[in-house]
Amino acid sequence: MKQAFRIAAFLLLAAVVLPAAQAADVTKVGTTAAKFLSIPVGARALGMGGSFAGIADDATAMYWNAAGIARLQRTEAIFTHINWIADIRFNYGGVVLPAGELGTFGVNITALSMDEMERTTEEQPEGTGTTFSSGSLAIGVSYARNLTDWFSIGTTIKYVNEHIWNSSATSIGIDVGTLFNTPFSGLRFGVGMFNFGPKLQMSGDDLLVQKDISANAGNNANVNANLSTEKFDMPLTLRLGICYEPIVDEDQRLLVSVDAIHPNDNTESVSLGAEYSLFKRIVSVRAGYKDLFRQSSEEQFTVGAGINYAFGENLAIRLDYAFERFGRLKDIHQFGVSLLF
């Protein structure tokens, strides 16, 4: 009876969260900068369809819901790598340090890069013989604390930079998250707001031009001027997540989760996921579906697996892999390694 009641409570909360997935009539795709901040971090989370805001129980919580790092008991370091679409490389690394009553601190870095490209112009469409680079970088500092036994709050403040050739844009982003244990055993609820901050605007030497500012004869026709580019918002996102553990003991655990996502540059969506750990929780298998109900989305189902092995009492390693079906685009493979000590 208690188990049925908990499942009913989970479904009730899901019914509250799911209406956020009612899609808007018009999408806003391509209207924000620093879109790399929306790429999901962590092979474990991606394997569960990116439904991790209500779980947030490893170092990737700095991305999914910073409140979650307050509940980590040991220092944890993580690194993940993705071969993203269009031969883009995406890497994320971070360290979380519990500090007792002071709270929990973390630092993370996100980097997106690609091979150098040949520069072309209107006069030389086949190439000038020179190349240029482009990429994105975010460096974040996280802090979280348990305010009570059942409520945690956390934040991440990050420096954000995007560059192309000799021009760049810089801003500061803020994430805020909360994690709440409901009165029903195994049922958690998380809420996060991500990438709140000033707009980004490109500036740099590439925008320096020479302009004839007057039609009068005899004037200087080569006055230095700077092109002014548009300012673009960061990908502000509201994420609500719930998770439930219908099975949990020393040998196995089943975890199911639902996230509702409301971005400022796309339609709303829902992500679903599950993780089953067995053999004393050493081996985990995962599956999920990402961005359900989103208009014109190429992202589809995800699957993944992981191994969590302890070397004595003071050291453990976790290896994770996730596969994402990306529709007509290149399928995604994400790899991750974590050390707990």
Query: Model confidence over 103-135: pLDDT tens digits?
Result: 999 999 999 998 888 888 888 888 888 888 889
Which of 158, 147, 160, 137 has the alpha carbon at shortest distance from 62? 158
CATH number for the segment(s) 2-114+140-193+236-340: 2.40.160.60
Rounded distance between C-alpha atoms, residue 168 and residue 73, angstroms: 39
pLDDT at 187 over 90: yes
Rounded distance between C-alpha atoms, residue 17 and residue 105, angstroms: 30
Rounded distance between C-alpha atoms, residue 226 and residue 142, angstroms: 37
Query: How big is the chain, counted in residues?
Result: 341
pLDDT at 322 over 80: yes
pLDDT at 22 over 80: no
Q: Would you place residue 234 in the very low, low, confident or very high pLDDT band (cuts 50, 70, 90)?
A: very high
* Residue 26 DSSP label: S
The kind and range of the H/E element at 166 are none
pTM of the model: 0.85
pLDDT at 30 over 60: yes
pLDDT at 26 over 80: no
Kindly list the domain boundaries of the chain, sorted by start residue.
2-114+140-193+236-340
Rounded distance between C-alpha atoms, residue 43 and residue 60, angstroms: 10
Q: Are 154 and 69 in contact (CB under 8 A)?
A: yes
Question: Does the CA dihedral 288-291-295-301 come out positive or negative?
Answer: negative
Q: Give the E-state strand segments of 2-87 in sequence order.
A: 76-84
pLDDT for position 155: 97
Lowest mean pLDDT among 44-58, 84-98, 151-165, 290-304: 290-304
Rounded distance between C-alpha atoms, residue 236 and residue 35, angstroms: 10
pLDDT for position 7: 46
Arithmetic mean of pLDDT, 250-277: 93
Q: Would you place residue 24 in the very low, low, confident or very high pLDDT band (cuts 50, 70, 90)?
A: very low
Rounded distance between C-alpha atoms, residue 276 and residue 306, angstroms: 10
* Residue 250 DSSP label: S
- Token digits of residue 247: 């099975």
